[in-house]
Amino acid sequence: MDQRRSKWRTALIATVLGAGLITAPQATAQPTAQIDDGLALTPPMGFNNWNSTHCRADFNEAMVKGIADIFVDKGLKDAGYQYVNIDDCWALPERAADGNLVPHPVRFPNGIKAVADYVHGKGLKFGIYTSAGTKTCNKDGGFPGGLGHEEQDAKLFASWGIDYLKYDNCNNQGVDAKMRYTKMRDALKATGRPIVFSLCEWGQNKPWEWAKDVGHLWRTTGDIGDNWNSMVSIAKRNMVLAEYAGPGHWNDPDMLEVGNGGMTDVEYKSHFGLWAIMAAPLLIGADLRKVKPEMFEILGNKDVIAVDQDKLGVQGKAIRTEGGMYVFVKPLTNGDKAVLLFNENDSGAQISTTAEEIGLPKSFAYTVRDLWAKTTTHSAGSISAALPPHGSAMFRVSASNDWYSYPPAVTAGADAAVLYPGAMPLVTPGKPVTYTTTVSNTGRLPIFHTQAKLTVPDGWTVTPKSSPTKLILSGEKQFQTTWEVLVPATAKPGRFPVGATFTYTSPSSTTPVSTSYQTEAVVPGAAPVGVKFLSDHSWLRASNGHGPVEIDTTNGEAGARDGGTISIRGQKFTKGLGTHAPAHIEYYAGGDCTQVTATIGIQDNKVNPLSLVTYEVWGDNKKAYDSGPVTGQDAAKQLTADVTGATVVRLIITDGGNGKSYDHANWGDLKITCK
Ligand code: GLA
């Protein structure tokens, strides 16, 4: 017996057999041959109820049938969605006398097979859920898991006609993950029914390194939430694992939130585009019986889906990530490249790449298909987009011989000068600020009669400082206009829309093309005066890993004010901020402040071996303080940061590189010194 196996046996016997919970898996339950069964050759597409219902009563037979109906009626089945999957809470808390799992009689009065039959009757497939532990994850206790019951549960699932199993990780009794998941893989295989096997162990044991032989997909992160921060942080953790994905074995950054209501339409498009470029499973997580019609346009976008489902099966890579401006590239079967330009920032951004940078062969020109606008243009090589905050653009780019049949690709945007990439476009009442509109013709042929216009809120003035019109704009040339915007001295703090509209004529047509771009201007409130607790001052913006940033309490992860007293190694604070990694808070300092001080450390009752963060303080684009790694064992630290002359003071908490679990980072007695 090799060392690893003997270690595993000891652990198993101690933790599980000792507790009389399960019988020992056979020694054959080591990952052996690759699954290689022809399943999930492209990332699975379908539905799962969890993100929308959790265990609420509206998770039931009617919902599942309703989703299957909508898949057919709204064209989602045609678009490639196939699996209708049910999650936790479908069963009763106890097994039957014969040891079988029992469907919840209220949710599924006709049993699971009846629902599976209904779904199959629509030409779709049906999936189910259980955990590789003694119980599932549901906080109310869960239902019995598959650990030690692998064969019996797999047989039951196969007899119901299950086509997909999501196998969770809760209550795993410390048994080796590879063992647990391999045991179920073999049990599923033994049924003789083709069943897609989805490992849901949250990336805890780096499944990308071993699960290719065990399952068809594996979760790479903890659970997604229906909010921007959660979605982006999950995308970032999944994107670095591209090399591990391929046909039959996919990285799974969790199910989609599109349609659940916690993000804007712009953000949901970015979410869907990110998942598609990363060849992620596309499992709709919203109750399609209730979503806005616009959500079907996102979820049903066949051009974007084609990128996700491309048979080459390569997960797109981020070739640029600096300053929150991302360029992702995914090679496609026919030699085209899919490109996602993604703006993580709260301010607009123009993001560009080139045909060369994305690895296309040299060509005189390229065709660029905009997968959201559904237009095709030609480019001499530059691929570019003016993106709103949190926006993205997705293209399919091909080296092309018939490029001249398409109009030149034109990008038009407007931006205020900002303090650093991703900064908010701040304007000070009474002080003029410069905006620049830019029209880029990235094609080979000229465009004509280009006209730019900037519109500002009522009472503000806007004056062009250079010409807003251009008769001929040649290929590969830009045309910029600068505008002076004056905000009245009486303007109240707030965020105000600034819009730009552009018209021009393409060589192939006499009808003018018009495009518009929305950006904004932010009028800050007053800067602090004297020595002030920052928790008494309003921030410009704040984002936090879990729940809101808390004022004068620690972070409790969910709603506002659920955290309690700030406490660091026994020292209590009545003033300060309670954050949770990753967090970012910005205050307007107006150039009149000099110093930030605080006592920092992890919240006492949240200390865990996984607690690890870093604290940073920035004055505009200059780092003024970096704590280095801070764990739950570390004594409270004194922070002093020199922010002299900064317009904006930024407080940043990172997850220290080990994920964001148990990262309750406090800022006790957080103060700023100003004039
Ligand atoms: C875990 C999983 C989720 C969901 C729930 C159900 O948290 O990661 O996707 O299945 O369990 O309880």
Half-sphere CA count of 10, side-chain side, radius 13 A: 6
Between the CA of 647 and the centroid of ligand 1 the distance, in Å, is: 43
pLDDT, tens only, 28-47: 445 455 578 999 999 999 99
Task: Indicate which atom in ligand 1 lies nearest the CA of residue 136.
Answer: 12
Residues with a known catalytic role: 168, 223
- The highest-confidence range among 96-110, 139-153, 226-240, by mean pLDDT, is 96-110
Say how many C-beta atoms besides its own lie within 10 A of residue 161's C-beta: 16
Between the CA of 373 and the centroid of ligand 1 the distance, in Å, is: 35
| pLDDT at residue 328 tops 80 | yes
Task: Indicate which atom in ligand 1 lies nearest the CA of residue 255.
Answer: 9
Q: d(Cα 484, Cα 462) in Å, to the nearest integer?
A: 6
Between the CA of 149 and the centroid of ligand 1 the distance, in Å, is: 20
| pLDDT at residue 5 tops 70 | no
What mean pLDDT do residues 88-98 have?
97
Say how many C-beta atoms besides its own lie within 10 A of residue 44's C-beta: 25
Which amino acid would we find at residue 128?
A: I
Between the CA of 225 and the centroid of ligand 1 the distance, in Å, is: 11
Q: 307 in helix, strand or coil?
A: helix
Pocket of ligand 1 (CB under 6 A): 50, 87-88, 136-138, 168, 200, 223
DSSP labels for 314-337? Answer: PPPEEEE-GGGEEEEEEE-TTS-E
**Among protein residues, the one whose CA lies closest to atom 9 of ligand 1:** 223
pLDDT, tens only, 492-503: 999 999 999 999
Q: d(Cα 339, Cα 303) in Å, to the nearest integer?
A: 12
Write down the pLDDT at residue 543. Answer: 87
**Among protein residues, the one whose CA lies closest to atom 8 of ligand 1:** 223
Between the CA of 168 and the centroid of ligand 1 the distance, in Å, is: 7
pLDDT, tens only, 493-532: 999 999 999 999 999 889 999 999 988 899 999 999 999 9
Query: For helices 61-73 and 111-121, what crossing angle results, to 10°?
Result: 10
Q: How far is CA 383 from CA 360, 448, 508, 623, in A?
A: 12, 21, 21, 33
On the 0-12 / 13-18 / 19+ scale of CB atoms within 10 A, 19 is: exposed
DSSP labels for 32-88? Answer: -S---SS--SS--EEEESHHHHTT-TT-SHHHHHHHHHHHHHTTHHHHT--EEE--T
Task: Indicate which atom in ligand 1 lies nearest the CA of residue 202.
Answer: 8
Q: d(Cα 228, Cα 390) in Å, to the nearest integer?
A: 9
* Top mutation candidate among 168, 172, 284 for ligand 1, by most atoms within 8 Å of CB: 168
Q: 565 in helix, strand or coil?
A: coil
* Top mutation candidate among 54, 88, 255 for ligand 1, by most atoms within 8 Å of CB: 88
Q: How far is CA 504 from CA 122, 160, 473, in A?
A: 49, 61, 9
Which amino acid would we find at residue 549?
A: V
Q: How far is CA 602 from CA 483, 522, 575, in A?
A: 47, 33, 15
Q: d(Cα 159, Cα 152) in Å, to the nearest integer?
A: 11
Between the CA of 88 and the centroid of ligand 1 the distance, in Å, is: 7
pLDDT, tens only, 261-295: 999 999 999 999 999 999 999 999 999 999 999 99
Q: Could you tell me which of 370, 371, 391 has the C-alpha nearest to residue 379?
A: 370
Write down the pLDDT at residue 34. Answer: 53
Q: How many degrees, rounded to 5, is the angle at CA 219 between CA 215 and CA 221?
A: 155
Half-sphere CA count of 54, side-chain side, radius 13 A: 10
Task: Indicate which atom in ligand 1 lies nearest the CA of residue 200.
Answer: 8
Q: d(Cα 214, Cα 209) in Å, to the nearest integer?
A: 11
Between the CA of 252 and the centroid of ligand 1 the distance, in Å, is: 13
| pLDDT at residue 17 tops 60 | no
Write down the pLDDT at residue 627. Answer: 98
On the 0-12 / 13-18 / 19+ scale of CB atoms within 10 A, 467 is: exposed
**CB burial readout 184-215, b (16+ within 10 A) else e:** bbbbbeebebebbbbbbbbbebebbeebbbbb
Q: 559 in helix, strand or coil?
A: coil
* Top mutation candidate among 87, 90, 224, 661 for ligand 1, by most atoms within 8 Å of CB: 87
Q: Could you tell me which of 218, 275, 203, 274 has the C-alpha nearest to residue 249?
A: 218
Task: Indicate which atom in ligand 1 lies nearest the CA of residue 222.
Answer: 8
Write down the pLDDT at residue 68. Answer: 98
Q: What are phi and psi of 369, to 5 degrees?
A: -95, 120
Q: 290 in helix, strand or coil?
A: coil
pLDDT, tens only, 410-433: 999 998 888 887 788 899 999 999
What mean pLDDT do residues 341-368 have?
95
**Among protein residues, the one whose CA lies closest to atom 1 of ligand 1:** 137
Q: d(Cα 197, Cα 191) in Å, to the nearest integer?
A: 13
| pLDDT at residue 332 tops 90 | yes
Asked if residue 427 lies in contact with residue 521, where contact means CB atoms within 8 angstroms, the answer is: yes
Q: d(Cα 360, Cα 551) in Å, to the nearest integer?
A: 51
Q: Which token pair is 181?
A: 């998941």
Q: What are phi and psi of 315, to 5 degrees?
A: -75, 125
**Among protein residues, the one whose CA lies closest to atom 5 of ligand 1:** 137
Q: d(Cα 663, Cα 229) in Å, to the nearest integer?
A: 15
Q: d(Cα 366, Cα 364) in Å, to the nearest integer?
A: 7
Between the CA of 305 and the centroid of ligand 1 the distance, in Å, is: 25
pLDDT, tens only, 432-468: 999 999 999 999 999 999 999 999 999 999 999 999 9
* Top mutation candidate among 200, 202, 217, 284 for ligand 1, by most atoms within 8 Å of CB: 200
Q: In which residue are the tokens 């707030």 written?
A: 494
Confidence band, pLDDT 50/70/90 cuts, at residue 351: very high
Query: For helices 150-160 and 177-191, what crossing angle results, to 10°?
Result: 40
Q: d(Cα 395, Cα 22) in Å, to the nearest integer?
A: 52
Q: Which token pair is 443?
A: 């094609």
